């Protein structure tokens, strides 16, 4: 047929192999949307940026997709305390962490490495104008399904900045 080319098998295999790293960090949701996932090629600063950017756009491509992404990057040890996803969602939407949802600006510190642990500060400005700094602690997973991948162990507010009690 004119205009249609059939690629040789070797070319198809090459395309498939080259697309593997992208596939390794993406996951399909129930509605077919693709969300970022942990990957061995991601560094701690990549993980924090992925999580922060996902939370800034929490309801894209569907409701709570940002929170789902943050949960995907939570370490297995973290998930013991914060999971399952429904519990994690409630926690992220509480008065302490709720400012992360749909925040309007973020600024990242340099990452501090300590062996298989890493720390990064992120200053956020919420949609209500409130500023707060969060600390992220990540660890490189040493075994299991996520071996070699950086994942979030904990996030907490730091400094004098406190989220006001009024709603967002």
pLDDT in tens, 114-151: 999 999 999 999 999 999 999 999 999 999 999 999 99
Q: Tell me the sheet residues that pair with 34.
A: 28
Q: Is residue 137 part of a domain?
A: yes
Residue-number span of the structural domain to which 15 is assigned = 9-158
Q: Is residue 167 part of a domain?
A: no
Q: Is residue 168 part of a domain?
A: no
- Spatial neighbors of 88 by CB under 8 A, at least 6 apart, are 67, 70, 71, 74, 79, 82
* pLDDT tens-digit map of 69-115: 999 999 999 999 999 999 999 999 999 999 999 999 999 999 999 99
Looking at the structure of the chain, the number of domains it has is: 1
pLDDT band for position 23 (50/70/90)? very low
Report the pLDDT value the prediction gives residue 56, as an integer from 0 to 100.
Answer: 98
CATH classification of the domain holding 135: 3.10.450.50
C-alpha dihedral, 78 to 144 to 25 to 71, nearest 10°: -20
pTM of the model: 0.78
d(CA 19, CA 75): 26
d(CA 37, CA 110): 22
Length of the chain: 168
Collapsing DSSP to helix, strand or coil, 47 comes out as helix
Q: Is residue 17 part of a domain?
A: yes
Q: Is residue 4 part of a domain?
A: no
> Half-sphere exposure of 69 toward its Cβ, with a 13 Å CA cutoff?
28
């Amino acid at each position: 047929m004119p205009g249609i080319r059939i690629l040789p098998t070797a070319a198809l295999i090459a395309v498939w192999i080259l697309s593997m790293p992208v596939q390794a960090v993406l996951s399909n949701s129930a509605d077919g949307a693709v969300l970022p996932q942990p990957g061995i090629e991601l560094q701690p600063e990549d993980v924090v940026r992925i999580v922060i950017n996902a939370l800034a756009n929490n309801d894209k491509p569907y409701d709570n997709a940002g929170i789902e992404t943050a949960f995907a990057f939570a370490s297995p040890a973290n998930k013991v305390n914060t999971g399952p996803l429904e519990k994690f969602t409630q926690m992220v939407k509480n008065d302490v962490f709720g400012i992360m949802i749909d925040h309007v600006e973020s600024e990242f510190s340099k990452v501090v490495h300590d062996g298989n642990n890493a720390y990064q500060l992120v200053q956020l400005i919420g949609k209500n104008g409130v500023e707060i700094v969060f600390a992220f602690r990540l660890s490189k997973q040493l075994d299991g399904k996520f071996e070699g991948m950086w994942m979030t162990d904990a996030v907490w507010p730091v400094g004098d900045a406190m989220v006001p009690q009024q709603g967002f």
